[in-house]
Structure 1
């Protein structure tokens, strides 16, 4: 028989409290979160316990007793059944346990250097082309002019979709992602999402059929090749994975690129440092994702009664791992609020998650972000933010909704410089 826990119930432990609305941005809660963090590694937030310390956040993300609630973004908006809920709950993000382990094992084999090495030229071409469009104006909105259109061509090139069809993927991902990202002030049409998702699935079916007899060096071919102990991916799984990669690889990169550009703009010395020392690009990515992450909250639910961090979490307890606060933990980072791309005390950031659901595309995302930041700091030498840059709710994929900038220089740098 299980021994009864003597740990205090997390709901009865007189923990610090965090009070914020569903539309609050990470910056809205920062001061309160850090004040609570100084008092205890866990606080009681408006939706339940929030893990604030780096050590406990890292441990919970690795603890299989706490699982990602299936269809959480839809459930938050009152949708707990139906075809869209089923589709999301059976995605790679929605699965857990043996089914999830099996798919990760197969998919991991597809994320080889061979599958991504050919993307470097595409990445540079895309970001330089976006900068070319705004150079003469001397101003732009980073969100709409650069960050939003940036990742889709790269994801399409990764999968092997022809350039002529990239606009289709942009439209499909824009629609489908509404189901994957909780934004309290956004309503969506379930039928329209299912229509877009169905069109994407049909397109992927045609791509798979064409690849079966003519495998190439793209990610879709690698997924078809992927095998583990005689096991292979089914057409349903290929369909699901392609959609998942498009969603995860598009909106995260969009939002993080805008967030990273903003924090660099607001620290001109760091913008100049990266321009003069492009070899710091990967450190700039890590530091901007630590300081200003687009993914600030990771939901988890206790699968059973769990003793964790000295407290009892009853079965079903909904928990938020506040990686935004954890990445500012002064017990881990010296002068944690300081933004410094040459920082050399960086343990692994928690922005890509951890444990079984650690982001499969983390290395590709780093490469995309690093290349974009190098090009932007080199080609736009003197940049400042020219207007407000409000952020979306921290409860979903966050980042600035708009980021107006102006840039001037004595002589614009060309893409070939």
Structure 2
């Protein structure tokens, strides 16, 4: 009789886990599909079927966790709402990120990306993150909101602090204080702008939000302030990492890079495969509203549940050869990848599926096409090796290429 050695329980909040989470994800899926982390007290769910269930079962799992993750910094947003409140607020927001307004915005997305890439030097090296992907999505949001480009560093500071606050599993006091500074500085900046747009509306997103109405409901200044904060984090941090990671994984698979370069219809497939292979948001939290059994483990009511997208998207129970980056894979639909019917987990699932997914799609496809145009041979700078960083959101820290 042979015995199987069970690997030690991963510690999600440990430095080793943050250094290389993908080495721990298979251990979680195979041996600890519901893993309680002692440091945070959270329950981490890692199998595709279980993560999908948590997202879709709104009766057993809620978004109450955003009450401590996000609300203290920017206020109450649509992603923590439920029932009629969520339905109304989502309907108020959706026209601004889909449909005619999005169609009007998309040419500006292309223009912004082209302007930024045109500033790359003709020789030496370029850090595609510091010189492009870090700032491109936030440029788009700033254009949508018609805010001063001179304040770009403020916006980046605020969304960085919000992302850190949201991801602060261990309760780091410095991160908490950083978030509290944003709690004061961000409203002091944005609320007067919202009030002015309400008095003198233009064609920008803030102005549109001040006049939109649905079933007799309108958005207050506080609601608009919170939504803009959400756009900064959802539209900045995550899209930045999605673009950078897609480029990185194409560079690490030269045959696929060559195929995408030759057939630009594959750019969308590359973006989608990256969403599966290395989703920019690796972990999203939910809250158990009742005692619930998942993979044979009972998660007590009131517990915070971590949906580990990065593990679920490489679950061999769901995907063929899941640890292979493959733009030609046939078990993920490119057509549905940016809709609520997506069969990967990167934008969550169910009624809280990311409303900005179509904007993210255009930004990523535009960015990658223009990078391929600018670099006929896309190669890392001599001596450079990329390194991924981050726990909740994850992507390459730098991406230094030959100009």
Q: Is TM-score (shorter-chain normalized) higher than 0.5? A: yes
1:363-415 deviation line (CA, Å, top 9, x unaligned): 11111111101111222122233423222232x222122222225xxxxxxxx
Q: Decide whether the 8 Å contact of 1:302 with 1:313 is kept in 2.
A: yes
- The alignment status of 1:289 with 2:268, answered yes or no, reads no
Equivalences for 1:31-70 in 2 at 5 Å?
A: 31-38=23-30, 41-43=33-35, 47-64=41-58, 65-70=60-65
Following the alignment from structure 1 to structure 2, what is the Cα–Cα distance between the partners of residues 274 and 262? Answer: 13
Residue 353 of structure 1: aligned partner:
348
CA 1:358–1:24 in 2, change beyond 3 Å: closer, same or farther? farther
Q: Decide whether the 8 Å contact of 1:73 with 1:179 is kept in 2.
A: no
1:240-291 deviation line (CA, Å, top 9, x unaligned): 1112212221111122222222111111222222222112222111111111
Following the alignment from structure 1 to structure 2, what is the Cα–Cα distance between the partners of residues 369 and 176? Answer: 23
- The alignment status of 1:232 with 2:229, answered yes or no, reads no
CA-based RMSD: 3.1
Following the alignment from structure 1 to structure 2, what is the Cα–Cα distance between the partners of residues 391 and 338? Answer: 17
381-390 vs 260-269, greater mean Cα deviation: 381-390
Q: Shift of the alpha carbon at 1:190?
A: 5.5
CA 1:62–1:405 in 2, change beyond 3 Å: closer, same or farther? same
**Aligned length in residues:** 384
Q: Decide whether the 8 Å contact of 2:195 with 2:221 is kept in 1.
A: no
CA 1:337–1:363 in 2, change beyond 3 Å: closer, same or farther? same
Residue 343 of structure 1: aligned partner:
329
- The alignment status of 1:23 with 2:10, answered yes or no, reads no
Q: Decide whether the 8 Å contact of 1:127 with 1:375 is kept in 2.
A: yes
Equivalences for 1:74-223 in 2 at 5 Å?
A: 86-88=72-74, 90-96=76-82, 98-163=84-149, 165-166=151-152, 168-182=154-168, 188=174, 193-212=179-198, 214-223=200-209
Following the alignment from structure 2 to structure 1, what is the Cα–Cα distance between the partners of residues 178 and 315? Answer: 42
SS in 1 for 2:97: coil
Following the alignment from structure 2 to structure 1, what is the Cα–Cα distance between the partners of residues 169 and 135? Answer: 21
TM-score, normalised on structure 1?
0.80
Following the alignment from structure 1 to structure 2, what is the Cα–Cα distance between the partners of residues 199 and 255? Answer: 26
What runs of 5+ residues in structure 2 fail to find an aligned partner?
A: 1-5, 334-342
Equivalences for 1:187-336 in 2 at 5 Å?
A: 188=174, 193-212=179-198, 214-336=200-322
Following the alignment from structure 1 to structure 2, what is the Cα–Cα distance between the partners of residues 49 and 207? Answer: 41
What runs of 5+ residues in structure 1 fail to find an aligned partner?
A: 1-13, 75-83, 408-417
CA 1:210–1:72 in 2, change beyond 3 Å: closer, same or farther? closer
138-147 vs 54-63, greater mean Cα deviation: 138-147
SS in 1 for 2:265: helix
